[in-house]
């Protein structure tokens, strides 16, 4: 049996290696002009019949197509099409996990509970076939974050068309990820416990462990000892303000406890990830200037007394309360990250303005991750990381990309999935004839 499992694993890995990602696109060699399209700037603004010019990887002009300006270089006809900034995926393990059932392709977790010094970037697989499938939906950037343990490690932000992790890196070691303990846990039926949620008797003990680690890390930074502690050293960016602390918490008490402890410990910048019940503590979040990366909207309510549509409308509730909100994929499977635009589309059905919904994936995510100086919106001087779609990017029925660019490089939109689609659509078209 062992030999059979090993043989299957080797075959699966061989297929991954044998069909690697396409060669990354070369640097932009000439100016590119997109004219006549509707430009969705990513900050809530729209320009009908727009003109966009970029060269050397940077946007040099964004404005009406009626503007008198030299249009040299490659021309892309945009009439009837739409241009968007590249979608940014926060808090994802893309490139760290390829196949759940094959341990050798899983690098998203390491041994240990308090391991902020574990860097996810160096484990990032730029040739991941899952990462490859993000691009045809306009997801061009992502924050690669570790999982597991209490303090899981350090994330970095990458672009999705690279030879290796060094080429992919957009912002290295942007933040530390803390998975706050829960006040309730699921009953362990296999141990004779009742099904459903039960109080976590070790909650205060878990919180005390985090508190002690934070205090020791702060004392380590304040001291002048010669001994090096990698875990404590990795936390110093959070105390200095060069890194953010991403706290994963959903319950009202957990959110307040986590942020309060972090602030008391001296952490400068905190981001709430998940925030299922964040709508109950919006005043607290605003007072502490904490943005929220909300989980995906295509979900069911967690508790019996929740509104049936709470996951659908949660981001809008937080936006309406005046918080800085971004969208992330939560604990869903990696491949579902490509559906981020459609999660935002769900918010339009809840009454949110379409451009505001797009903003959650572009400008807001860029601001929360600290890359808004170069990404997230279509603006002069910023990176030419954008895509052209035949229809509405938030609508899965019409979002069909014709072009996509990362830092001005025109990237391939072909993947192993598009190849299979063409193969079998041709087969069944032939059968119908």
The band of 215, judged by pLDDT with boundaries at 50, 70 and 90, is very high
pLDDT over threshold 80, residue 259: yes
pLDDT, residue 296, reads: 85
**pLDDT mean over 43-60:** 96
**Phi, psi (rounded to 5 degrees) for 92:** -130, 155
**Domain segments of the chain: what residues?**
2-84+414-432, 87-374
The band of 2, judged by pLDDT with boundaries at 50, 70 and 90, is very low
SS3 166: helix
Q: What percent of the chain has pLDDT over 90?
A: 74
Cα separation of 22 and 165, whole Å? 16
Per the structure block, which two tokens stand in for 301? Answer: 């309510």
Q: What is the mean pLDDT of the chain?
A: 90
SS3 247: strand
pLDDT, residue 433, reads: 55
Q: Are 346 and 312 in contact (CB under 8 A)?
A: yes
| Plot region of 330 (φ>0 → left; ψ -120 to 50 → alpha; else → beta) | left
Parallel, antiparallel, or unpaired: how do β-strands 184-186 and 197-199 relate?
Answer: antiparallel
pLDDT, residue 99, reads: 76
**Phi, psi (rounded to 5 degrees) for 418:** -65, -35
Cα separation of 406 and 28, whole Å? 10
pLDDT, residue 430, reads: 62
pLDDT, residue 186, reads: 72
pLDDT, residue 431, reads: 61
SS3 327: strand
Q: What angle do CA 276, 301, 185 make, to 5 degrees?
A: 70
**366: closest CA among 179, 172, 143?**
143
Q: Which CATH number fits domain 2-84+414-432: 2.30.40, 1.10.3470, 1.10.150, 3.40.50?
A: 2.30.40
Q: Which fold has domain 87-374?
A: TIM Barrel (3.20.20)
**pLDDT mean over 163-173:** 96
Q: Are 151 and 140 in contact (CB under 8 A)?
A: no
Cα separation of 167 and 144, whole Å? 14
pLDDT, residue 18, reads: 42
The band of 17, judged by pLDDT with boundaries at 50, 70 and 90, is very low
Positions of E strands within 112-188: 139-144, 151-159, 169-179, 184-186
**Phi, psi (rounded to 5 degrees) for 275:** 60, 45
Per the structure block, which two tokens stand in for 222? Answer: 């304040």
pLDDT over threshold 70, residue 391: yes
**pLDDT mean over 389-414:** 95
**pLDDT mean over 12-32:** 70
Q: How far is CA 86 from the centre of its chain?
A: 12
pLDDT digits (tens, 9 = 90+) for 290-330: 999 998 888 889 888 899 999 999 999 999 999 999 999 88
More reliable by pLDDT, 197 or 25? 25
**pLDDT mean over 357-372:** 98
Please state, in angstroms and as integers, the Cα–Cα distance from residue 121 to each residue in 71, 145, 372, following that order: 39, 8, 20
The band of 109, judged by pLDDT with boundaries at 50, 70 and 90, is confident
pLDDT, residue 10, reads: 45
The band of 95, judged by pLDDT with boundaries at 50, 70 and 90, is confident
* CA terminus-to-terminus distance, the chain: 46
pLDDT, residue 210, reads: 96
pLDDT, residue 386, reads: 98
Least trusted range by pLDDT, from 129-143, 297-311, 382-396? 297-311
pLDDT, residue 330, reads: 80
pLDDT digits (tens, 9 = 90+) for 189-198: 676 667 777 8
The band of 405, judged by pLDDT with boundaries at 50, 70 and 90, is very high
């Amino acid at each position: 049996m062992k030999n059979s499992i090993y043989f299957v694993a080797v075959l699966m890995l061989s297929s991954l290696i044998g069909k690697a990602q396409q060669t990354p696109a070369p640097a932009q060699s000439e100016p590119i002009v997109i004219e006549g399209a509707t430009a969705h700037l990513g900050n809530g603004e729209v320009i009908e019949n727009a003109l966009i010019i970029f060269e050397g990887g940077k946007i040099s002009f964004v404005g009406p197509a009626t503007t008198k300006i030299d249009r040299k270089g490659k021309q892309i006809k945009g009439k009837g099409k739409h241009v968007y900034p590249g979608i940014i995926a926060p808090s994802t393990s893309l490139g760290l996990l390829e196949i759940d059932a094959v341990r050798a392709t899983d690098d998203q977790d390491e041994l240990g509970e308090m391991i902020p010094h574990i860097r996810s970037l160096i484990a990032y697989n730029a040739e991941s076939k899952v990462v490859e499938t993000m691009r045809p939906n306009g997801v061009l950037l992502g924050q690669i974050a570790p999982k597991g343990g209490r303090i899981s490690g350090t994330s970095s932000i990458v672009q999705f068309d690279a030879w290796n992790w060094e080429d992919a890196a957009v912002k290295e070691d942007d933040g530390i990820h803390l998975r706050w303990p829960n006040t309730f846990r699921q009953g362990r039926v296999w141990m004779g416990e009742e099904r459903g949620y039960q109080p976590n008797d070790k909650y205060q003990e878990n919180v005390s462990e985090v508190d002690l680690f934070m205090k020791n890390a702060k004392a380590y930074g304040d001291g002048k000892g010669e001994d090096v502690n990698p875990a404590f050293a990795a936390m110093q960016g959070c105390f200095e303000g060069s890194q953010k602390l991403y706290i994963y918490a959903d319950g009202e008490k957990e959110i307040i406890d986590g942020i309060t402890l972090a602030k008391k410990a001296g952490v400068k910048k905190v981001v709430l990830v998940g925030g299922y019940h964040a709508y109950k503590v919006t005043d607290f979040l605003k007072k502490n200037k904490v943005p929220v990366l909300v989980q995906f909207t295509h979900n069911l309510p967690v508790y019996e007394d929740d509104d049936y549509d709470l996951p659908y409308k949660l981001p809008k509730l937080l936006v309406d309360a005046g918080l800085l909100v971004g969208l992330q994929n939560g604990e869903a499977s990696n491949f579902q990250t490509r559906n981020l635009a459609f999660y935002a589309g769900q918010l339009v059905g809840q009454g949110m303005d379409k451009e505001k919904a797009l903003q959650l994936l572009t400008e807001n995510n860029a601001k929360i991750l600290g890359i808004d100086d170069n990404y997230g919106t279509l603006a002069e001087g910023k990176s030419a990381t954008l895509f052209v779609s035949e229809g509405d990017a938030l609508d899965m029925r019409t979002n069909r990309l014709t072009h996509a660019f990362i830092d001005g490089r025109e990237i391939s939109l072909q993947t192993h999935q598009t190849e299979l689609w063409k193969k079998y659509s041709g087969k069944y078209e032939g059968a119908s004839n």
